[in-house]
Amino acid sequence: MPASAFWAIFDTEGLWQIISLSLGVSLTASALASLAGVSLGSVLAVCSFPGRRLFVILTNAFLGLPPVVVGLTLYLLLSRSGPLAVTGLLFTPEAMVLAQFVLATPIVTAFVHRAVETAWGRYGGALMVDGASRLRAVPHLLAVERIPVLVAILAGFGRTVSEVGAILIVGGNIAGYTRTMTTAIVLETSKGNLSLALGLGFVLIGVSIAVSAAIFALGMRGGRWWW
């Protein structure tokens, strides 16, 4: 790519807004997915209840949930002629958060379940002897499995920040409103501006590496203070 084409990226109209919307949507979705996934994964690992196995199997099956199908399903639900029309969420950033939350939650849940289950097998007996209830053992288990759980959260973030199929359908790629890094790349490719599209891709990769590194570093430090 010629150098001039690279610098043209920074002339892209609303580039910073596109980056901040991308990060805003993906971070919100992955924060919610992390809360839901860490809780669900832990409960699935330490508690036994009817249907638990089925739940675990479904969670693992949803690791490969196709984004376009999630997008299309949400579109039909949120459409003005759909059952959730009153929410008025279609073609908004909030709808994109919802779609990415649905995609990332199974990933965090499955990875956390796996990590906590291992720790439970190893230390569960000892923790129970100490008189802790199963759920009260969870923070200790998460502390032991800090790195795998952090990786689970990063995998969730990775899924959200790179995704395009679902947000294109429920967000609509509206300029200045629901256009993100990934949908902008699709758009510039379709306009034949291939080097600009590729440049935006590099910016996206750089931003996502920086954010992942920050989450990991802060998570590790936080772990040392809190546990």
Partner 1 sequence: MVRAVLVIALAATIFSHHPGHAADQPPAQSIMLASTTSVDNSGLLGHILPLFTKETGITVRVLAQGTGQALATAAHGDADLVLVHDPEAEQKFMTEGHGVDRRQIAWNDFIVVGPRSDPAHIAGGHDAAAALTAIAEVRALFVSRGDNSGTDALEHRLWRAAEIDPAKTGGSSWYRDIGGGMGAALNTASAIGAYTLSDRGTWLSFGNKGGLAVLVEGDPRLLNRYDVILLDPKKHPEAKQEAARRLAEWLISPQGQDAINGFKIDGEQLFHPLAVSPK
Using CB under 8 A as the criterion, which residues of the chain lie in contact with partner 1 when the complex forms? Answer: 13, 17, 20-21, 23-24, 27-28, 30-31, 34-35, 38, 79-82, 85, 88, 90-94, 139, 142-143, 146, 149-150, 153, 157, 172-177, 187, 189-194, 196, 211, 214-216, 218-219, 221-223, 225-227
Three-class SS state of 177: coil
176, containing H or E segment: none
Nearer to partner 1, 58 or 174 (CB): 174
Separation between Cα atoms, residue 45 and residue 95, nearest integer Å: 31
Separation between Cα atoms, residue 164 and residue 22, nearest integer Å: 11
Nearer to partner 1, 27 or 65 (CB): 27
211, containing H or E segment: helix 194-226
Residue 63 CB, nearest approach to partner 1 (Å):
20
Residue 4 CB, nearest approach to partner 1 (Å):
14
Nearer to partner 1, 49 or 226 (CB): 226
Closest CA to 153 of 92, 214, 68, 194: 214
Residue 127 CB, nearest approach to partner 1 (Å):
17
CB count, 10 Å around CB of 83?
10
Nearer to partner 1, 132 or 207 (CB): 207
